[in-house]
Amino acid sequence: MATLSRFVVKNHDFHKHGAVYRGGPSSLISSRTLRAPHLDVRAGVSLPENGKGLAIQSKQSSPLALSAPSRILCNAAANVPGDIPTPSGMNQYERIIETLTTLFPVWVILGTIIGIYKPAAVTWLETDLFTVGLGFLMLSMGLTLTFEDFKRCLRNPWTVGVGFLAQYLIKPMLGFAIAMTLKLSAPLATGLILVSCCPGGQASNVATYISKGNVALSVLMTTCSTIGAIVMTPLLTKLLAGQLVPVDAVGLAISTFQVVLVPTVVGVLANEFFPKFTSKIISVTPLIGVILTTLLCASPIGQVSEVLKAQGGQLIFPVALLHAAAFALGYWVSKLSFGESTSRTISIECGMQSSALGFLLAQKHFTNPLVAVPSAVSVVCMALGGSGLAVFWRNRPIPVDDKDDFME
């Protein structure tokens, strides 16, 4: 879902020097949009010293980013709604992508309905094609990253590290505890543990922006957890679920390496050494990404539709509880050390993961088809829960004196 890590958002609010600014649609957000002087990383906007205007900066010009710098005049206010000027830099294609991306939860709901009632429309995307689709999304994410992004991880070891631990400590332990407490059958317990051990999903970047979180940090945490999945996902699944069913940790590691790391590294290298070529590719990847993301959400539902119809409530509750607890714990644990914006970011990153990867691994490495069911249900719970939480936080302002935990 890499298109969801480079998205357009409307009517964003952000804080600087004790004032609240309101801006119109920004450029597509990626980690490289967020490197400019006087930058508020929660909004991806550069503020001039005199405070009279703002400039949206983009390191790489492409059809999916505003030409830099585009200037929007705005007034400071104290959380008071005002007229929102609209930049003229966005073309029709960008507006379409913006709309499609920000309506991600709607596509998930539609995909779920189609998957349950018309499964044949989406079940053609089976294991091999599913692998290709997921690999393409990982490649798309890599195309938005550079070597500098990984250096920024080293400049923020504590902040990124806490997010990593939340993803691979809090979430897996929650999955294990819920499976044991509710006494789920071995296949369903294994599936719940497997999806809880998966890395962060790119959809978290969208939810982070909507929630007024730290987008740059979200992109970095998603990247780090994705790369870490090669070791952490098979290791934790083996440790926590190995007592329930046989777990092929080596097979899980190899599949994760092939589907996640290889496409991501190829994308990063292409972006670093062939920027002109990648700038042309990324003009079409968002549209393809929106379509693929919807299919990758709908296909798992379609493939387990009969099970969902028969045992829907029983299957939805443990998965929904997993996500709700992860959002809550991720937030409150982060609040012990970090400010509001960073805590929201870590909460969303902890509660939203790559359920599609969990579904693929379950299909390829477990013989019982029920192992894949929690991942299929997680696709819906993750998207709707994360989006709902983001909208809730959207209407709760960040304190003007919020602690800055991120170093550019």
Label residue 209 left, alpha or beta by phi (over 0 means left) and psi (-120 to 50 means alpha): alpha
What single DSSP character describes residue 169?
I
Q: Where are the beta strands (DSSP E) in 47-97?
A: 53-56, 70-73
Averaged over successive runs of 10 residues, the pLDDT of the chain (408 residues) comes to: 44 37 35 42 43 41 35 35 45 77 79 88 83 84 78 79 89 94 92 92 78 82 87 92 84 86 87 86 76 84 84 84 94 90 91 88 89 90 86 85 68
The whole-number pLDDT of residue 11 equals 38
Give 71's strand partners: 55
For residue 37, count CB atoms less than 10 angstroms from its CB and return exposed for 0-12, middle for 13-18, buried for 19 or more. Answer: exposed
pTM over 0.85: no
**C-beta separation of 55 from 62 below 8 A:** no
For residue 392, count CB atoms less than 10 angstroms from its CB and return exposed for 0-12, middle for 13-18, buried for 19 or more. Answer: exposed
Q: Give the integer Cα–Cα distance in Å for 312 and 87.
A: 46
Reply yes or no: is the peptide bond before residue 63 cis, omega within 30 of 0: no
Element containing residue 215 per DSSP (H, E): helix 215-241
The whole-number pLDDT of residue 175 equals 94
> What's the chain's Rg over C-alpha atoms?
20
User: What's the distance, CA 9 to chain centroid?
Assistant: 15
User: What's the distance, CA 112 to chain centroid?
Assistant: 19
Angle of the 215-241 helix axis to the 262-273 helix axis, nearest 10: 160
